[in-house]
Amino acid sequence: MTEAHGLRDAYDQLEHEVVECSPSLSVPVSTPAQFAYADTPGVTDAEAIADRIADSPIAFLDVSTTNGDAWYEFHVSGSAYDDDNGGGCTATITTVGVTFVRSNRHLPRESFERIVEAIADAVDAPLRFDDHAENTPGQS
């Protein structure tokens, strides 16, 4: 894996459980994994990023793209799914980094790795697991 660093730690951080609030109400609770950019992204147009993911082996569904908002340069979000290993998650790609949220309990490590790699390729920048989510883009 050359495009993402800390994949094992990021995968281990992802959690998904259903918490019972009452006998008739249960809610899903997820812990996200956040990645910072190890270098400045080479692709910063939201639609171009979404197109590049669509050309990858990963299915990217329910895609939302925004460019040039006051809070960020680009924002891409959607549900990423790896047919080869049968797992998926939600991905949010922004100017400050990438956040992954497990959408159900079944997410094989191989699927997570393929999804992270596809997104790193789409933004043309290596990703680095940000276990404290305090770093800014481009910092090591």
DSSP state of 50: H
Q: How confident is the model at residue 99 (pLDDT cuts 50, 70, 90)?
A: very high
Alpha-carbon distance of 131 to 38, in angstroms, equals 14
Q: Provide the β-strand partners of residue 19.
A: 27
Q: What is the pLDDT of residues 27-76, one digit of tens each?
A: 777 789 999 999 999 999 999 999 999 999 999 999 999 998 655 689 99
- pTM of the complete model: 0.79
Alpha-carbon distance of 61 to 78, in angstroms, equals 6
